[in-house]
Structure 1
Amino acid sequence: MWKNALNDFIVQVSEMLDREGYRPNVGIILCNARNEVFWGKRIREHSWQFPQGGIKRGETPEQAMYRELHEEIGLMPEHVLVLGRTKDWLRYDVPTHWVRREWRGSYRGQKQIWFLLRLIGRDCDVSLRACDHPEFDAWRWNSYWVSLDAVIEFKRRVYEQALNELARFLNADARRAQRAAVPFRTPPPAGLPGKE
């Protein structure tokens, strides 16, 4: 019975791979009002990462992003503002010794669309136990440009690419917020300097 379930799972995964052996996936960079980014600690491991997950058949990257956001860190669409996304897929290869035997030869790695989100909810809205199979057992806020040493080595280049590409949206959001914070100035009454 378990062999049938395993075979069904392998077939499902292989159907999701593109011609080059990459599984479609989304990555999420969630930042707070101080432009710090959310990092989750992989359950029972010493590595930290951004939330990410596979795109299911029939899902758009945006739908997968919202599903993963809820499954991995308990946030709902009303808790976040989408600031931007990567233009194209970013890819990483998974070393062979990390790949299940039954996937070797067909599975190469992940191709990801990355999203930059602003948390408009509160820290207490984050829940690592929103689903039955949690991905993380701890989380923290880090500087946007924190060293990637705590990230598993084969993902670092993609993280760097995503952070670099999405930084422009973070800067644009900061400029919008700054403009919104400038108080409206009413013109001086008639007869005062500066008014004709």
Structure 2
Amino acid sequence: MSEPDLSLYRPNVGVVLFHPDGRVWYGRRAGTPGPHNWQFPQGGVDDGEDYEAAARRELFEETGVTSAELLAKSIEWIAYAFPADYGGTKQAHGWTGQKQKWFAFRFTGEESEIDLEAHGEIEFDAWRWGALDEAPDLVVPFKREAYEQVVALFAPLIT
């Protein structure tokens, strides 16, 4: 199988937020029926924006969290393609999928800091801590392979 043309993939960042005890943060996508409606915070990168800055911005916008220290980041892109029937604005803009730089942060604040309404646009309607290796089974199937790569990348960080 040939490698995808990543120039057709939207630049994006993803965040795995580690609790000090090694669990990770999951958000349930607002308005998305289960069972595959949990995921990590993620979002687009603005033109000229530094990837870590984009990851911190997305983390804040989607969770309210600002108390986080960088643990690790991906060097290579981790990509996924949109399904043919996905539709939506990203495909309408000509993107085949998303290519992501992933960041692992350790949460250093209090849980009261987590505010799913911190930014006017609500991405998640619930959240929980869970095991990192749950991720591929919680996310929509077309993101599963990317999440398997993220789990493999950040598994050594579990304390």
Structure 1 residues 177-192: aligned runs within 5 Å: none
Paired residues for 1:60-139 under 5 Å: 60-76=50-66, 79-100=67-88, 103=91, 106-139=94-127
Give, in angstroms, the shift of residue 20 of structure 1: 3.1
Matches of 1:63 and 1:146, distance apart in 2: 27
TM-score (norm 2): 0.88
Shift of 1:122: 1.4
Alpha-carbon distance in structure 1 between the residues aligned to 2:13 and 2:75: 13
* TM-score after normalising by structure 1: 0.72
| Equivalent AA in structure 1 for residue 83 of structure 2 | P
Q: 1:163 aligns with which of 141, 151, 155?
A: 151
For the pair 1:25 / 2:18, whether they are aligned, the reply is no
The CA distance in 1 between the partners of 2:136 and 2:79, in whole Å, is: 17
Give a deviation string over 1:84-142, Cα, whole Å, max 9, x none.
Answer: 00111100000121123894593100000001111011111111000111100000001
Unmatched 5+ residue regions in structure 2? none
| In structure 1, distance between residues paired with 2:86 and 2:56 | 27
The answer to whether structure 1 residue 154 and structure 2 residue 142 are counterparts is: yes
Equivalent residues, number: 152
Q: Supply the AA of the counterpart residue of 1:32.
A: H
Does the residue aligned with 1:44 lie in a helix, a strand or coil? coil
Q: What is the alpha-carbon distance in structure 2 between the residues aligned to residue 102 and residue 119 of structure 1?
A: 30
Bigger relative contact order (CA 8 A; separation at least 6): 2
Measure the CA separation in 2 of the matches of 1:60 and 1:20: 18
Identity of aligned residues (%): 39
Larger radius of gyration: 1
**Alpha-carbon distance in structure 2 between the residues aligned to 1:105 and 1:126:** 32
* Structure 1 residue 145 corresponds to structure 2 residue 133: yes
SS of 1:20's partner is: helix
Residue 50 of structure 1 pairs with residue 40 of structure 2:
yes
- Stretches of structure 1 lacking an aligned partner (at least 5 in a row): 1-17, 175-196
Runs of 4+ in 1 over 4 A off after TM superposition: none
* Mapped partners of 1:19, 1:39: distance in 2: 27
Secondary structure in 1 aligned to 2:47?
A: coil
Between Structure 1 and Structure 2, the one with more strand by share is: 2
- In 2, the alpha carbon distance for the partners of 1:74 and 1:141 equals 15
In the alignment, is the contact (CA less than 8 A) between 1:99 and 1:107 conserved in 2? Answer: no
**Larger relative helix fraction:** 1
